[in-house]
Chain A
Amino acid sequence: MTSPTLKAPAGNGPRSLRRARPRYGERAVQGLLLVAALVSVATTVGIVVSLIPPAVEFFERVSLADFLGGTEWTALFSSPRYGVLPLLSATMLITVIALAVAVPVGLGAAIYLSEYADRRVRKALKPTLEVLAGVPTVVYGFFALSFVTPRLREWWPGGTGPDFQNALAAGLVMGVMIIPTIASLSEDAMSAVPDALRDGAYALGSGRRVVSVRVVVPAALSGIVAACVLGISRAIGETMIVAIASGNQAVLSWNPLDAMQTMTGFIAQAGSGDVPVQSFEYKTIFAVGALLFVITFVMNMISIRLVRKYREVYE
């Protein structure tokens, strides 16, 4: 409240409107709150600081080209090779399987919730779907390994079925885990589409399906894409499902029936063993972790930017 009229005269009147004494308590509280908000920035700094020095030490011995271009990953063996491609390919394959489940199913659920369901149904179904996101991932891992994989092996038509641990089961179950992420965010984006657009389409004689698919979905597209990118980020970073159900051998293979190891799977395996702190194996955790962080960071930024973009359109 520092409008010039209040400040100016030194007379009796406006003086009482001015602050009687400086409130140090208020300032202190404000500072404390700022510090709390800065904890989150410190977390990011902490992540970067804990990743970089060991990763730098790693890259002093293994060249970046060998790391990113090598096709053999045997970091915990006696004759170690540090080519990250097998871990990357496994991560990508499982992500693709997960998205093949989560994107169509999640989007379908979102369209139903946003365009078809009435308020009461939506209020009941949305939280039910979100329970899926609250199930601990170790439970999904257990289910993938001991329920989904045996069923897959049983029902596989002819020939050899999937391995005891395989990328397919892990990817399918991970896809179900990501459904609520995609459904919930897409539903938000679709609900934000103004009714005028729908009414216009109805006025032209469109049915509900046409309005949903040709009007609402395109209008909410950036929000939907943001949801999918966030889903990719989740799938890349998910650890327990792949650590339990997809196996621990890093092999360069595109066959989803094989056992394979993802980046997160390797970190979990190396980190839960008794790797000596000063050893070179210990530093591989941080090198793979740095790659994982960079990839998910880029994905998150794309997603955040897209969400911003669609918000600006209708506000």
Chain B
Amino acid sequence: MTYVRVTEPPSPAAPRKLAGPRFRPDESAFRVLLLCCLAVGIIFLGVLLTYVLVEAWPRLDSRLWNNFPSIRRPERAGAQSAIFGTIWVIAFTALFCLPTGIMAAIHLEEYADPNRWYNRLIELNIQNLAAVPSIIYGILGLGLLARQLALGTTVLTASLTLSLLVLPVVIIASREAIRAVPQSIRQASLALGATRWQTIWRQVLPAAVPGIATGSILALSRAIGEAAPLLLLGAVTYVAFNPEGLESAYTVLPIQIFGWISQSREEFHHLAAAGIVILLAILLIMNAAAIWLRNRFSKRW
């Protein structure tokens, strides 16, 4: 099909004027400035990762996970107890905080009447807790769990404290996942005669699982990197055995790294960098899993 031009084409001057001058130095400069802001963070991240990797290179071998920490012989020191300690502490943290957090999220999204003062208080409280400094949780664990409840400085205290620390994150993420399930699903289920809990258990929760899982993994990866509260909870740096239970003493990777940083000898510096590489690798795997979960299972209604 051919078009016949009915009118003369407008002279090039007219649209030019509407579009404004083609080159506006102030606009471009501003755009470049904004891009620089964005670049600062990303370049910093790149430099940080490169530096850590370069520093860690001489020590990035099997000694790291086969050997126990040693303060006298850095060339033979490893981080096995810290790696196992991290696994123990995080496993129990997940066991404590995920069910509690998800149940709290269900309560707030499905049952709570937002006009009741106590529900508003719970909500405000969670928002505040999410921004309370982590070392305050250390004080909570120290004063209340370790001393008052006499749990001592054990894997149990550490995982309970970390659970409370990441609980707000789990609740907030789970709430968002539950809220994303459309109302029509609930109404259909209720219309078929299902009770409220049956609707939640059989329809809402399965649909929200990908979102909840993603949020939970991110919350746990935050817990893995936390060192400040565990400093107060007696996570010692040089522990030459793996934890054997909830009552056991322990160390974790961030604390081990902190211990190595405080040493002045050069070998410990490389050791700290190597520990950081392991820690970052674990976090990277967890984050990749979270992204994969979100892309693979998330639904769009």
Contact = CB atoms under 8 A, between A and B. Distances in A.
A122 to B, nearest CB: 11
A64 interface: no
B126 interface: yes
A298 to B, nearest CB: 10
A304 B127 contact: yes
What is the predominant secondary structure among interface residues of chain B facing chain A?
Answer: helix
Contacts, number: 259
A29 B197 contact: yes
Nearest to B269: A146
A255 to B, nearest CB: 24
A254 interface: no
B135 interface: yes
B139 A51 contact: yes
Closest 5 CB pairs of A and B: A237-B133, A108-B37, A136-B225, A50-B143, A36-B103
A209 B122 CA distance: 41
Given A30-B111, A134-B221, A176-B40, A37 B128 contact: no
Contacts of B31: 112, 116, 208-209
Interface in B228-246: 228, 231-232
B67 interface: no
A43 B67 CA distance: 38
9 contacts: A109-B38, A125-B38, A134-B283, A139-B280, A179-B41, A244-B258, A277-B147, A286-B143, A293-B136
Interface residues of A, number: 87
A146 B51 CA distance: 10
B144 interface: yes
Contacts of A120: none
A112 B131 contact: no
Interface size range of chain B in the complex? 35 or more
Contacts of A244: 258, 261-262
B219 to A, nearest CB: 11
Interface of A: 23, 25-26, 29-30, 32-34, 36-41, 43-44, 46-47, 49-51, 54, 104-109, 111-113, 116, 125, 127-129, 131-132, 134-139, 141-143, 145-147, 176, 179-180, 183, 205, 207-209, 212, 230, 233-234, 236-240, 243-244, 264, 267-268, 271-272, 277, 285-286, 289, 292-293, 296-297, 299-301, 303-304
Contact of A41 (B47, B103, B122): B122
Contact of A138 (B48, B108, B227, B287): B227
Given A54-B143, A105-B41, A267 B131 contact: no
Nearest to A241: B228
Interface in B114-153: 121-122, 124-129, 131-140, 142-144, 147-148
A187 to B, nearest CB: 11
Given A26-B196, A137-B228, A176-B40, A108 B128 contact: no
B195 interface: yes
Interface stretch (B22-30, B74-82, B87-95): B22-30
Interface in B86-115: 99-101, 103-104, 106-108, 111-112
